[in-house]
Amino acid sequence: MGLVVAIHQPHYLPYPGFFDKMRRADVFVYLDHVAFTPGWQNRNYIKARTGPARLTVPVTRRSRGGPIREASIAQGADWQRRHESTIRQAYARALHLGMCADLLGLLYHHSWTNLGMLNLACDLHLTRMLGITTPWVLSSSLGEFRQTKTALLAEICRRLGAATYLAGDGCASYLDPEVLEVAGIELRWQGYRPPRYPQLHEGFLDNLSVLDLLMNAGAEAGRILTSGESA
């Protein structure tokens, strides 16, 4: 089968499918050299009493279009206090709030100026909490790239000696399988199904930040994460 590589931009408090993809790969590549665009790279959702609550890290205007690794967090916006307050209110009755104390301290009691560094620290801490041990690399450590889109993914796989690219379902609209085929790389789709687990507040919401899963399931979160895997 050969080496399986998954590639993804570093995200802020990512959803469970992000970590499911990492778990299934032999090597996970943080795509930190591509352009920052507002979205999952600097925001995500948790579940509050009234429904989904969005947490957004403010980023300077000049960061748009530049590499994720160079995106600057807007200073003076008091986002850390607001995010921690929102999380603690939403999960005040969560069984495993205490388990997430170190994560909250990392995110909201350090002075962050760079979005890429914040996201990487956040994602790696969550990875350890979920018991995922997949090796990772930064795309910026692999040299310069002129390619974009699917050609970029193929070139990253080539430089790592990968036989298979594990693709998230969200890229189906723009990924070109033929480019990977020509490069001799097998395409495998993630086929992720969000797992069900007990949540606070009324109803069930899927694809929230994995923080929701950890708050509600604690040490069982890693096992529950695998239940979202399709055959």
| Helices 210-217 and 16-24, packing angle to 10 deg | 90
On whether residue 59 sits in a domain, the answer given is: yes
Residue 45 phi/psi, 5° resolution? -120, 145
Residue 143 domain flag: yes
For residue 45, name the pLDDT band (cuts at 50, 70, 90): very high
What separation in angstroms does the CA of 16 have from each of 4, 92, 108, 109, 226?
19, 21, 21, 24, 10
Model confidence pLDDT, tens digit, residues 105-123? 999 999 999 999 999 999 9
Mean pLDDT across 196-219: 95
As a dihedral over the C-alpha atoms of residue 161, residue 228, residue 51, residue 215, rounded to 10 degrees, the angle is -80
Total number of domains constituting the chain: 1
Taken as a whole, the chain contains a residue count of 231
pTM: 0.94
- The span from the CA of 106 to the CA of 44, in Å, is 17
Q: Of 29, 80, 87, which is closest to residue 57 (Cα–Cα)?
A: 80
Domain contains 231: no
* pLDDT > 60? residue 228: no
- pLDDT tens by residue, 169-196: 888 788 999 999 999 999 999 999 999 9
Q: Which residue range(s) make up the domain with 74?
A: 4-226
Supply the mean pLDDT for the chain. 94
Spacing of C-alpha 53 from chain mean position: 18
pLDDT band at 1, cuts 50/70/90?
A: low
For residue 108, being part of any structural domain is answered with: yes
**Percent of the chain scored above 70 by pLDDT?**
98
The H or E element containing residue 55 is: strand 51-56
Report if residue 67 sits inside a domain.
yes
Mean pLDDT of 33-38: 94
161 within some domain:
yes
In a domain, 184, yes or no: yes
Q: What percent of the chain has pLDDT over 90?
A: 90
Strand, helix or coil for residue 173: coil
